[in-house]
Amino acid sequence: MSRRAEAAAAAAAVSCVALTVVRAVRRDLPLAEGIPLLVVGLLFVGAGVAASARRPSSASGRLLALTGLAWLLSVALTTFEDRLLFTAGLALFPLGLAPLGHLALVFPARRPSSPLERFLVAAPYLLALLSVPVVGPASCSDCSTRPLGLDVASGVGRLWYSSLLVAVLVAAVGVVVVLARRWQEASPVARRVLLPVVPGAFAFGLAYIAGILAELGLPTGLGEGWAVVALALIGLAPLVFLGGLVRSHLARAGVGQLVVELGEAAPAQGLQEGLARALGDPSLELAYWIPSSARYVTAGGAPVELAAPGAGRSVALIERGGRHVGALLYDSALRDDPGLVDAVAAAAGLAMENERLHAEVLVRLEEVRASRRRIVAAADSARRQVERDLHDGAQQRLVALTLAVGMARARLEGAPDPAVADLLQQASDEARLALEELRDLAQGLHPALLAEAGLGPALESLAERSPAPVELSVSAEGRLPVPVEVAAYYVVSEALANVAKHAQASAVTVRVDREGDRLQVEVGDDGVGGADVRSGSGLEGLADRVAALNGCLEVDSPPGGGTRVRVELPCG
């Protein structure tokens, strides 16, 4: 119903009531008799307008309003003395029941699923029309205004009326059976949705059937009680329906609460459970879209198939910032309230985006760490290769050269030309210096002792070769993971090289301690200080190497206050 139709329905309802009151006062009719029906009619119109305002696309509001208007108009028309108007008023009453049957069958927002259901939806309207010739005489035998119509006590009228009653009975039984089956087949979530309409309609249907049976003269054991029950159920129907609307409203408020919770932190019992609670659907599943493999997975990573439509499951796609992030799989019964599902999907999108960003950051971080580890490993491998090449190539050749020169010198001993001996001595000395330089270079490239004997012996060897005296203390016993040993070794090696080059230190201390799963390495000197990890390319490279192992490197080097290089490495 559009806003205008809603306003028109409300205006019509008020007009009917006003007309009834005016007519009743003018004719001095007993108004009390009409009041229950007026109230019920107003409630129906009110519920219809409210339902329509909430879900304009749904038929529920229109059907409720139609019932209410039919009855209000029925009451209003029956205040007229004109026989045609009076009869029309009487005929409108059964016509008001037809939208209710219709509503019960299609609620919350479905289409009749079989020819039988389509027939059952149409039947009440048809029967209401077919009742017109007999409805007046059948409704009131002793009314002050005599209605038009066939006499139902005899002849054609009786036959018509009896046939009509049987047809109504069949239709009512059909409706009741369909409603019972719908209820029986419904999931818990669907029953929650059906609750405001179907159980009431079913009960009314039973009472109505009892009434028809009584009218047909069959004993029901209820007497006139059915009418009381039926009227009570009809009166309650709009109230129950409005209750359903309020509950749905509260459910949306629950989504709001969920969004607030998600903003603070992920719900403790998991996003899926929080969403299931907000939507009131324990069967709800949350599927994460993985673009790289183009499929959906659960939070645990298990693949999820989106159910084919019509299997009682519905899918709401979750988008965030124009990107598809996942899907909600929920009980189709909840489609009655698409706004609620949309709200929950939006909340899910917010939380999933957060989760996704968090996960993505973690993945990227791990990728960066892994690539840094690979870079370090590749550099180490390259260093080993260069050291090996030096050893097998240049170093061997220089030794061979030294050997040849040495043998030449030995041959020339006592020779008349001392200048040649001097030149050979010079060649020999140069070769020795070259070998020394190569040795230092090779040693720095790949410390063989480290791999063979471990950190302690390798650091002892480093300390021995340091020009400044080194006090070494290694309390970490046993072997450590190779990357940790290598990093610790290079840190000490680089720090000692810096001490030799820049620090002008008279004493150096090297401490290596293991505390739990942390290895602490500290190199301190009493030199001039002023070293900077950024300017020193050696230390900068080491910082990268240490960071690749999730460790940290600190350099404390105040001018004139010595230098302290501290490294902490996880070694668990």
Partner 1 sequence: MRVVLADDSVLLREGIARLLAGEGFEVVAQVGDAEALLAAVEQERPDVAVVDIRMPPTHTVEGLRAAHEIRKRHPAMGVLVLSQHLESRYAVELLEGGRGVGYLLKERVGDVHEFTEAVRRVAAGGSAVDAEVVARLLRRPRRRDPVKDLSGREREVLALMAEGRSNQAITARLFLNAKTVETHVRNVFTKLEILQEPDDHRRVLAVLAYLQSPSKKAGDPPAG
Q: Which residues bind partner 1 (CB under 8 A)?
A: 388, 391-392, 395-400, 402-407, 409-410, 428, 431-432, 435, 439, 442-443, 448-449, 451-453, 457, 460-461, 463-465, 469-471, 507
Complex with partner 1: residue 354 or 461, whichever CB lies closer:
461
For the chain, state the CA radius of gyration: 47
Complex with partner 1: residue 102 or 446, whichever CB lies closer:
446
- For the chain, the straight-line distance linking the first and the last C-alpha, in angstroms and rounded, comes to 70
CB of 412 closer than 8 Å to CB of 424? yes
Shortest distance, position 501 Cβ to partner 1, whole Å: 18
> Could you tell me the two tokens for 351?
């939380």
> Could you give the 3-state DSSP secondary structure of residue 182?
helix
Shortest distance, position 473 Cβ to partner 1, whole Å: 9
Shortest distance, position 452 Cβ to partner 1, whole Å: 6
The answer for 312, left when phi > 0, alpha when psi is -120 to 50, beta otherwise, is left
Q: Give the Cα separation of 411 and 402 in Å (integer).
A: 14
Complex with partner 1: residue 220 or 443, whichever CB lies closer:
443
Complex with partner 1: residue 140 or 401, whichever CB lies closer:
401
Type of residue at 281? D
Complex with partner 1: residue 105 or 470, whichever CB lies closer:
470
Shortest distance, position 437 Cβ to partner 1, whole Å: 12
The answer for 310, left when phi > 0, alpha when psi is -120 to 50, beta otherwise, is left
Beta-carbon neighbour count of residue 142 at 10 Å? 5
Beta-carbon neighbour count of residue 27 at 10 Å? 11
CB of 409 closer than 8 Å to CB of 418? no
Shortest distance, position 476 Cβ to partner 1, whole Å: 17
Burial class (CB in 10 A: 0-12, 13-18, 19+), 292: exposed
Q: Give the Cα separation of 116 and 131 in Å (integer).
A: 22
Q: Give the Cα separation of 65 and 67 in Å (integer).
A: 5
> What pairs with residue 555 in β-bridges?
565
Shortest distance, position 568 Cβ to partner 1, whole Å: 24
Complex with partner 1: residue 6 or 380, whichever CB lies closer:
380
Shortest distance, position 261 Cβ to partner 1, whole Å: 57
Complex with partner 1: residue 298 or 396, whichever CB lies closer:
396
Shortest distance, position 471 Cβ to partner 1, whole Å: 6
Complex with partner 1: residue 406 or 481, whichever CB lies closer:
406
Can you point out the beta strands (E) in 427-515?
A: 470-474, 508-515
